[in-house]
Amino acid sequence: MSEQEDMIKTIIKIREEKGISQRQLAALTGIKQPAIARLESGRSVPNITTMNKLLAPLGYTLTISQLLDE
């Protein structure tokens, strides 16, 4: 599974755990519900701005961290 797929699955999980529907998330973010559905189904690739818009009302943000040597 790609990192992008992991991120989308995490957003879906967080959204569902918070009891927020796609329609509610659309109202909170200004992103139309069909666009959220396309992102969640993997039919669309979100850019960083869109990811931040989706995460902010869920109480999350994107971060960059250094990979640790394994």
What is the per-residue pLDDT for 1?
64
Q: Which domain holds residue 41?
A: 3-58
What is the per-residue pLDDT for 64?
86
Residue 21 lies in a domain: yes
What is the per-residue pLDDT for 12?
96
Are 53 and 36 spatial neighbours (Cβ–Cβ below 8 Å)? Answer: no
**Calpha distance 26→39 (Å, rounded):** 12
Residue 67 lies in a domain: no
Name the pTM for this structure.
0.84
Q: What is the mean pLDDT of the chain?
A: 92
Integer CA distances (angstroms), 46 to 7, 62, 69, in order = 10, 13, 29
- CATH number reported for the structural domain that contains residue 21 in this entry: 1.10.260.40
